[in-house]
Amino acid sequence: MNKKKLSLLLAEIVTLTLALLFISPLILVFVNSAKGNQEIFLTPLAMPENWNNLISNITSIWSNPNVGYPNALFSSFFITVCSLAGIVITSAMAAWVLVRTKSKISTAIFLMFVAAMVIPFQVVMFPLVKWFSIVQNAIGIQLLRSYTGIIIAYLGFGSSLSVFMFHGFIKGIPLEIEEAAAIDGCSKIKTFFFIILPILKPIVVTVLVLNGIWIWNDYLLPLLVLGKGSLVQTLPLAVSNFAGAFLKQWGLMMTAILMALVPVVIFFIFAQKHIIKGMVEGAIKS
């Protein structure tokens, strides 16, 4: 065996090993979702004795009023969709203006977005809640324990990376396209929505996937803004209801995690071909 074939074989072995390591938590969740607490404690790595337990666990989760899984599913879907729509539109607009406006102010604003990417969330999480409370009392619009507050929070935290990615992509779009649209009588708004935005499709999908997975799986920000046990709660908060102070329903928790994973995995599978394409094109054009 020559060196080239040996190196290729070693690379495949390493890749397969890493793939198994990364997918092993998902396999454990799937296997243990069809078990009860006792079976999980005794044989956590073995196959379940009865796969029908998975159906009964799903039924129990869906019909349990204390968990509120259907409401949590709707809340997660609504918050994710609204947040993603806002992040894509506002970030793309901001990046477009920053690219086309050649000034020191636009450069400074872009650097502020870049700097915001490295600020840890833990530094601002308590000031955020306090500020939401102050604004809520001042203007009368409920920001805590409401869809409005959590969506605004996601818009703020998701815009920095999104603006950075859009900025690099838009720099590669020829200015002559916009000038031709202006000559044909296109306004700035029409130029953005009918010319620029369709060109941004690869990077839009990348931004949607990266932010969508983060928003769908996020636990800390909904816990701070919405609060545990409130009427408005997301799937991660609903899953945590199975872990009480004195009792943890591991079987139901694993099933709930599996149910929460299915939508985002399906979304990722359909959008994966655009992810690398958008990130690579954005990096090259930046």
> What integer pLDDT is reported at residue 67 of this predicted model?
73
> What integer pLDDT is reported at residue 277 of this predicted model?
65
Count: domains in the chain: 1
> What integer pLDDT is reported at residue 93 of this predicted model?
95
pLDDT above 90: residue 43: no
Q: Tell me, yes or no, whether 135 lies in a domain.
A: yes
Domain with 223, as residue range(s), is 66-285
H helices of the chain, where?
3-32, 37-42, 52-63, 69-100, 104-116, 121-139, 147-170, 175-183, 188-191, 197-199, 201-217, 220-225, 235-240, 250-285
The CATH number that applies at residue 79 is 1.10.3720.10
**Which pTM value belongs to this model?**
0.86
Q: Tell me, yes or no, whether 3 lies in a domain.
A: no
Q: Tell me, yes or no, whether 50 lies in a domain.
A: no
Q: What is the pLDDT of residues 17-30, one digit of tens each?
A: 998 898 898 888 99
Long-range contacts of 37-43, Cβ-Cβ distance < 8 Å, separation of 24 or more: 37/248, 37/249, 37/250, 37/251, 39/251, 40/250, 40/251, 40/254, 41/250
Q: Tell me, yes or no, whether 11 lies in a domain.
A: no
Percent of the chain at pLDDT > 70 equals: 93
Q: Tell me, yes or no, whether 197 lies in a domain.
A: yes
Q: Tell me, yes or no, whether 54 lies in a domain.
A: no
Q: Tell me, yes or no, whether 138 lies in a domain.
A: yes
